[in-house]
Amino acid sequence: MTASTPARPARRNGEGSSVVSPAPLQDTLILGLGNPMRGDDGIGVRVIEKLVVHALPQGVEAAEGGTKGLGLVNLMEGWRRVILVDAANVGLAPGEFARFTRQEARLLGDDRRLSVHNAGLREALLLAEVLELLPEEIVIYGVQPAKLDWHAQLSPEVEAAVPGLVRSILGELDASARAVSISSAHWNTLTKEQEEGNHGE
C-alpha cells in the first residue's frame, strides 16, 4: 500500500446522492456526510472535494455519503476501514473538530453529539454491527458547525477548518501506509533469514 493512485470520484444516482460500489476486500473508504445546501452541514462534502485531488494511497477511496443515516450500512459494507467526516455537536468552538473511534462513539451513548442528522450515525453503526457488516476500523471526524440554515456556503469558521481536516486525514492514511510498509519489510527480513538458515543446515 505504499504506491499512490488517484481515488475514484463519488458517483451520483438520479436523486443526487452518492453511490459507492466497492470491490471485495477494499481497504479504506473516506465518506463525507451532510447536505451542502445547509451551510456547515456540507463540511463532509467539502473535505471530499479537497481529498479527491490528492494522490491517495492504493486501496483508498473518497466519496460523498450525503445524509443517508441508516443507509450508511450499505456504503460501509466490504471495507476494512471507514473514515467519516460530518458536522457534529461535539461541544467545541465552531470550526473545531474532534476525532472519535468507534469505541469512543459507543461510550458517548448519544448520537446527537456525533452527527446533526435525525437518522443517527450511532444507529447506523449499531445496525452494521448487528448485521456483521461493520468495518474492522471506524474513525469519525466531527466538526462543530456555526450555522445550519439553508445556505450553499460554509461559515468562515468551518471553511477555515477544511485544510486542517484534510491534513489530519492524509496524515492518518500516511501513518497507516508506513505501518504496512514496515510490517512487510519485517516479514520479508524474517523470511529471508529463515531461508538462509534452511540453506545452512
User: pLDDT per residue over 20-56, tens digit each?
Assistant: 554 455 899 999 999 999 999 999 999 999 999 998 9
Residues of the chain with pLDDT > 90: what percent? 41
What CATH number is given to the structural domain containing 63? 3.40.50.1450
Query: The cell 452527527 sits on which residue?
Result: 115
Confidence of residue 85 (pLDDT cuts 50, 70, 90): very high
Q: In the chain, how long is the greatest CA-to-CA distance?
A: 75
Does 4 map to a domain? no
Does 198 map to a domain? no
Domain span at 46:
11-185
Does 191 map to a domain? no
Does 90 map to a domain? yes
Q: Structurally, how many domains does the chain consist of?
A: 1
pTM for this entry: 0.73
Does 18 map to a domain? yes
User: What contacts 125, CB < 8 A, 6 or more positions away?
Assistant: 102, 105, 106, 134, 138
Does 197 map to a domain? no
Q: How many CB atoms lie within 10 A of CB 100?
A: 21
pLDDT of residue 71: 80
Does 86 map to a domain? yes
pLDDT higher than threshold 50 for residue 12: no
